[in-house]
């Protein structure tokens, strides 16, 4: 688990995860990026005493639930530009479905029940971004 205040490239950590889990049948991953259509900047704020511990608890739950060989979650904080990576979630598992489901589980929790506050700067100013009803529905399928 990492919180980053600078940009990152997803390829190196994905390669390290694959090397660290040679017994896995595969590694599934998701990279979320800042939308570029109409967005001038994205700011991600967080509460440090909760954010990293919350992410670590989420990781433990994912490993136990899906029987993972390994996983990683990197999340940006601070100011980001359009097209910049925001989040990298990856899971290594013996079987494809375990890895893919784990990544969806991680992202559904990070999108709807995480410890981040987001706002976008558009031409008309700053706007707070709230989870949508679809985000909460996606989260509900894991309970």
Segment 81-115, tens digit of pLDDT = 999 999 999 999 999 999 999 999 999 999 887 78
Segment 20-63, tens digit of pLDDT = 999 999 999 999 999 999 999 999 999 989 999 999 999 999 99
- Residue 83, domain CATH: 3.90.1170.40
Closest CA to 116 of 41, 42, 31: 42
The answer to whether the Cα torsion of 60, 85, 132, 124 is positive or negative is: positive
Confidence at residue 9, expressed as pLDDT on a 0 to 100 scale: 96
The order of strands in the sheet holding 2-4 is 2-4, 70-76, 85-93, 26-33
Give residue 48's domain range.
Answer: 2-140
Confidence at residue 126, expressed as pLDDT on a 0 to 100 scale: 98
pLDDT at 6 over 80: yes
Tally of domains in the chain? 1
**pTM for the structure as a whole:** 0.93
Mean pLDDT of 73-88: 97
């Amino acid at each position: 688990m990492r919180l980053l205040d600078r940009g990152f490239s997803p390829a190196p950590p994905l390669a390290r995860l694959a090397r660290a889990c040679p017994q896995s049948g595969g590694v599934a991953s998701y990279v979320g990026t800042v939308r570029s259509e109409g967005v001038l900047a994205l700011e991600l704020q967080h509460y440090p005493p909760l954010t990293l511990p919350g992410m670590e608890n989420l990781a433990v739950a994912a490993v136990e639930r899906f029987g993972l060989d390994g996983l990683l979650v990197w999340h940006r904080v601070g100011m980001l530009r359009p097209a910049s990576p925001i989040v990298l979630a990856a899971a290594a598992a013996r079987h494809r479905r375990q890895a893919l489901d784990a990544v969806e589980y991680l992202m559904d929790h990070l999108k709807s029940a995480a410890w981040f506050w987001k706002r976008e700067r558009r031409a008309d100013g700053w706007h707070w971004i709230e989870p949508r009803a679809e985000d909460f529905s996606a989260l509900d399928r894991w309970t």
